[in-house]
């Protein structure tokens, strides 16, 4: 016999808990299912992981950061504790350890049937808040690597000591790729980073964190319509880090510390990995995006009458750019080449997702399945939609539709 629920939220990270908070504030009975523990995705980050955005950006509804270090960057375990405390603060109705295996519309009566590890559930409305990072993506040629190497995705990395001896090839150079390169280099490993076209931002501009500047520009408010095309939302997050108090981390800083930079990964045979010879183009791309950020900040200053901060031009970059790597030099390969949505593997609703797997929706409401909602999707409504900084805005919008105030 299926359990009957009015409203069901799937996922107990920042998105699902924000929805739960807003539903509870409106007096709407609901249940939150979490396949692991609260903040499960954050628990699976590597040991030295910390936020890139400062602590003051932790702005979940009714749970803004109130700690003593607003301008620092929270470590992995602190993020988990913050989410646990947030859930406890409003007694979120979370059932941990319950995996949703499939979701399908109920015939005739409306609502949905969810098959879970704890049994079947009928729900009138369902909010999918399963995170922006669902299925690791590997580029073409990933399967060419020889089986003797240890090969893993970013979400399988924990620390340098967990890897076999030898150098490490990292494929993908967004925030995660650069941060893992630094983590491994500091542990004394030889690191080879296969680069791509990724943006970078300075950690600080003048005496302010770059994020403080960006929140005063349209950067976090940008929508899909502001991007060159839908695929642009799959671009890597800007290169920087909050580690050790926060500092610049991009191609130039990595090269200076001794990381070997390579062009984009093209494939491998049993003895060598091959790269695109396009490292200079990757650097030029990132520098152009830095220029875009500078122009946003200058525009804000012009509008408000504020003096322009110093925005120095990037240092010259000379690319060595070897086009292959002897795989005898490495013992492991880590793919940090992004994630893709994975809804279609378990949500049985034809036409609910676009060709890249993102939900087709209007302000978080499914365009093809009444009663189905999404929160926490990358660029759901705005750039900030999946972030602690902005997910509450979408959560309030969706909760208000489920039960208008």
Mean pLDDT over residues 246-261, rounded? 97
Name residues whose C-beta falls within 8 Å of residue 345's C-beta, 6 or more positions apart in sequence: 135
Residue 298 has pLDDT above 80, yes or no: yes
**Looking at residue 319, what is its pLDDT?**
79
pTM of the predicted protein model: 0.95
**Looking at residue 172, what is its pLDDT?**
96
**Looking at residue 404, what is its pLDDT?**
59
pLDDT interval class at 405 (50, 70, 90) = very low
pLDDT tens by residue, 310-352 = 999 999 998 788 999 999 999 999 999 988 899 999 999 999 9
**Looking at residue 55, what is its pLDDT?**
98
pLDDT tens by residue, 19-44 = 999 999 999 999 999 999 999 999 99
pLDDT tens by residue, 116-144 = 999 999 999 999 999 877 889 999 999 99
pLDDT interval class at 110 (50, 70, 90) = confident
Mean pLDDT over residues 173-198, rounded? 97
- Of residues 401 and 1, more confidently modeled: 401
User: What is the average pLDDT value for the chain, to the nearest integer?
Assistant: 95
pLDDT tens by residue, 190-204 = 999 999 999 999 999
Give the percent of the chain with pLDDT over 70: 99
């Amino acid at each position: 016999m299926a359990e009957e629920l009015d409203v069901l939220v799937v996922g107990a990270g920042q998105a699902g808990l924000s929805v739960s908070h807003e539903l509870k504030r409106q007096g709407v009975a609901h249940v939150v299912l979490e396949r692991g523990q609260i903040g499960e995705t954050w628990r699976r980050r590597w040991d030295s992981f910390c936020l890139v955005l400062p602590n003051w950006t932790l702005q979940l509804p009714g749970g803004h950061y109130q700690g003593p270090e607003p301008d620092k960057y929270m470590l992995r375990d602190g993020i988990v504790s913050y989410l646990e405390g947030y859930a406890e603060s409003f007694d979120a109705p979370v059932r941990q350890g319950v995996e949703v295996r499939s979701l399908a519309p109920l015939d005739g009566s409306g609502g949905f049937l969810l098959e879970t590890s704890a049994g079947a559930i009928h729900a009138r409305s369902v909010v999918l808040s399963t995170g922006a990072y669902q299925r690791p993506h590997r580029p073409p040629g990933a399967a060419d690597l020889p089986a003797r190497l240890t090969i893993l995705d970013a979400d399988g990395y924990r620390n340098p000591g967990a890897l076999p001896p030898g150098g490490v090839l990292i494929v993908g150079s967004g925030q995660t790729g650069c941060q893992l390169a630094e983590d491994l280099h500091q542990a004394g490993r030889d690191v080879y980073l296969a680069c791509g076209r990724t943006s970078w931002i300075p950690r600080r501009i003048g005496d302010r964190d770059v994020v403080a500047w960006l929140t005063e520009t349209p950067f976090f408010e940008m929508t899909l319509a502001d991007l060159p095309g839908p695929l642009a939302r799959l671009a890597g997050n800007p290169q920087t880090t909050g580690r050790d108090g926060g500092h610049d981390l991009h191609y130039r800083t990595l090269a200076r510390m001794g990381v070997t930079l390579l062009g984009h990964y093209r494939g491998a045979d049993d003895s060598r990995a091959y790269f695109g010879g396009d490292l200079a183009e990757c650097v030029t791309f990132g520098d152009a995006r830095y220029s875009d950020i500078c122009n946003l900040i200058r525009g804000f200053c012009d509008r408000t009458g504020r003096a322009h901060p110093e925005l120095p031009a990037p240092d010259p970059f000379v690319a060595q750019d070897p086009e292959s790597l002897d795989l005898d030099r490495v013992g492991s390969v880590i793919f940090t080449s992004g994630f893709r949505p994975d809804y279609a593997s378990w949500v049985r609703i034809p036409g609910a997702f676009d060709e890249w797997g993102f939900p087709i929706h209007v302000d978080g409401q499914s365009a093809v399945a009444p009663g189905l909602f999404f929160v926490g999707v990358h660029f759901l409504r705005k750039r900030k939609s999946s972030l602690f900084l902005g997910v509450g805005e979408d959560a309030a919008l969706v909760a208000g539709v489920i039960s208008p105030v």
